[in-house]
């Protein structure tokens, strides 16, 4: 029905009509402001987790894929992106609708032995990742002429102090800003003048190679993109923030958008490296990966890359050990939160401290960064199917999520994603075992 007072100035309206109009305007403004505040409060876990995935291991692995196989891994990355979106959405949904992290849910929904097996897999993968993050910090600052024997210990102390005594949330945002340097990769990809028709063809149509090296790197791409620690962090952070079921729609946007944004950057890293580096065989140093940014920064490419690598590695250097601490603390049912002090959450913060010490110490004796990072991502790729299987089973259970459980279509898509990741991981595992006995090519 047409409102006759809709375009009439307040001064010619009767007082009740003018009052109602002002009240409606105030209510609409308050509603918009409330939605804006909710978005700011909810957004974070998904975006942080996905971008933490573009850490030292991720960047070097994507750059190695581009340098060694050109654009052939682009279609593979599209599939991995779909898997990441599906998995990260399930994790955030589990966190919101149960108010618990994945480790606590695994402990409650499965037997003690099964839960212990999942936890051991996570700890093994994460300890390797913590080492790689501090190795990444050392490699980043070596591009500025700073010795890793100075940068790694100082960075370890700074990250540890920020989480225990400072504002981790504030530091988290600083590291994210530094990691945004990698937005230069899309620009570098364009300025490198790649063959866009070839890029499109490899993105839309599979161009796989049936070689052990290609499959090994493919599993490394899975391991660095759909990383177990990211999923544990998402569910635990969502539960820690206390996001309500009513606000789940905003968190779902955070989870999906974060996954897509992080992987779009990954795709451009592959494109830029394939176009600018064009090197047969894998990369050997961080400076090799930095060379893909020369179309953007010229002689300052290594410095630009170093800033981004430092931010990404420092962010993951905090997120990875926190995800392990969350998982173990949830599994044994003790206090876990970055807002607690040491005396309030001794196990949670003690585990974080131990991982930082071990990771930084081992990183100091590492000589081949690229080899370490890719092997770490392969290890993650082998362990990822185990964690994803738990996530899938729990997200399917109506006894746990009720009407929020996976629907028929989502259940099929998520099952296919987990099955494909598992199959590729199994192939690499078989290849590795055969190579130990001198059968086939490694």
- Cβ atoms < 10 Å from Cβ of 362: 17
As a whole number of angstroms, the distance between CA 88 and CA 49 comes to 9
- pLDDT of 30 over the 80 cut: no
> In sequence order, what DSSP letters do the residues of 221-234 get, joined into one string?
HHHHHS-HHHHHHH
As a whole number of angstroms, the distance between CA 272 and CA 75 comes to 16
**Summary mean pLDDT of the chain:** 78
Q: Which residues of 11-26 are buried (b: 16+ CB within 10 A; e: fewer)?
A: eeeeeeebeebeeeee
Q: Does an H or E element contain 401, and which? A: helix 398-401
As a whole number of angstroms, the distance between CA 198 and CA 383 comes to 33
Q: Does an H or E element contain 156, and which? A: helix 148-164
Taking a C-beta distance cutoff of 8 angstroms, is the pair 219, 374 a contact? Answer: no
Q: Which CATH superfamily is domain 46-436 in?
A: Amino acid/polyamine transporter I (1.20.1740.10)
Looking at residue 27, what is its pLDDT? 56
200 backbone dihedrals φ, ψ, rounded to 5°: -65, -45
pLDDT confidence band for 33 (50 / 70 / 90):
very low
As a whole number of angstroms, the distance between CA 280 and CA 388 comes to 34
What is the residue extent of each domain of the chain? 46-436
- pLDDT of 369 over the 70 cut: no
As a whole number of angstroms, the distance between CA 409 and CA 163 comes to 41
Residue 7, Cβ density class (10 Å: 0-12 exposed, 13-18 middle, ≥19 buried): exposed
Which of 212-226, 289-303, 385-399 is predicted most confidently? Answer: 385-399
Q: At what angle do helices 56-69 and 301-332 cross, to 10 degrees?
A: 130
Q: pLDDT tens digits for 61-100?
A: 888 888 888 899 999 888 888 888 888 889 889 988 888 8
Which of 40-44, 148-152, 184-188, 383-387 is predicted most confidently? Answer: 148-152
pTM of the complete model: 0.77
Q: pLDDT tens digits for 266-309?
A: 899 899 888 887 666 666 677 777 888 888 778 788 888 888 88
The pair of structure tokens assigned to 404 is 């929020």
Span 260-268, mean pLDDT? 87
Window from 112-116, 234-238, 307-311 with minimum mean pLDDT: 234-238
């Amino acid at each position: 029905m047409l409102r006759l007072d809709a375009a009439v100035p307040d001064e010619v309206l009767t007082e009740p009509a003018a009052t109602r109009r002002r009240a409606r305007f105030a209510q609409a403004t308050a509603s918009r402001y409330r939605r804006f505040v909710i978005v700011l409060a909810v957004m974070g876990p998904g975006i942080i987790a996905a971008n933490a995935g573009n850490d030292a291991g991720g960047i070097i692995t994507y750059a190695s894929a581009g340098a060694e196989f050109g654009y052939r891994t682009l279609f593979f990355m599209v599939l991995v992106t779909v898997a990441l979106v599906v998995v990260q959405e399930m994790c955030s949904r589990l966190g919101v609708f149960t108010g618990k992290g994945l480790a606590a849910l695994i402990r409650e929904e499965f037997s003690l032995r099964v839960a212990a097996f999942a936890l051991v897999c996570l700890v093994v993968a994460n300890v390797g990742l913590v080492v790689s993050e501090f190795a990444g910090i050392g490699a980043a600052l070596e591009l500025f002429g700073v010795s890793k024997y100075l940068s790694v210990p100082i960075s370890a102390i700074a990250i540890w102090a920020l989480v225990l005594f400072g504002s981790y949330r504030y530091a988290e945002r600083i590291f994210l800003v530094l990691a945004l340097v990698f937005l230069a990769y899309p620009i570098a990809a364009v300025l490198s003048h790649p063959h866009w028709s070839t890029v499109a063809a490899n993105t839309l149509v599979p161009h796989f190679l049936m070689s052990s090296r290609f499959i090994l790197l493919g599993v490394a791409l899975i391991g660095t993109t759909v990383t177990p620690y990211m999923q544990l962090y998402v569910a635990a952070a969502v539960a820690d923030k206390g996001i309500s079921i009513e606000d789940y729609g905003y968190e779902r946007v955070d989870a999906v958008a974060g996954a897509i944004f992080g992987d779009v950057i990954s795709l451009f890293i592959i494109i830029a490296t394939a176009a600018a580096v064009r090197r047969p065989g894998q990369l050997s140093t961080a400076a090799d990966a930095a060379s893909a940014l020369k179309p953007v920064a010229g002689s300052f490419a290594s410095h630009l890359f170093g800033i981004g690598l430092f931010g990404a590695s420092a962010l993951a250097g905090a997120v990875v050990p926190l995800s392990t601490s969350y998982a173990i603390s949830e599994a044994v049912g003790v206090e876990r939160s970055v807002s607690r002090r040491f005396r309030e959450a001794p196990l949670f913060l003690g585990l974080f401290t131990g991982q930082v010490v071990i990771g930084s110490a081992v990183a100091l004796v590492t000589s081949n960064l690229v080899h370490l990072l890719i092997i770490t991502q392969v290890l993650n790729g082998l362990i990822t199917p185990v964690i994803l299987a738990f996530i899938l089973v729990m997200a399917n259970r109506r006894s746990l999520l009720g009407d929020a459980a996976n629907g028929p279509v989502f259940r099929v898509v998520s099952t296919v994603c987990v099955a494909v990741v598992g199959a590729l991981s199994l192939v690499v595992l078989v290849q590795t075992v055969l190579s130990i006995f001198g059968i086939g090519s490694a």
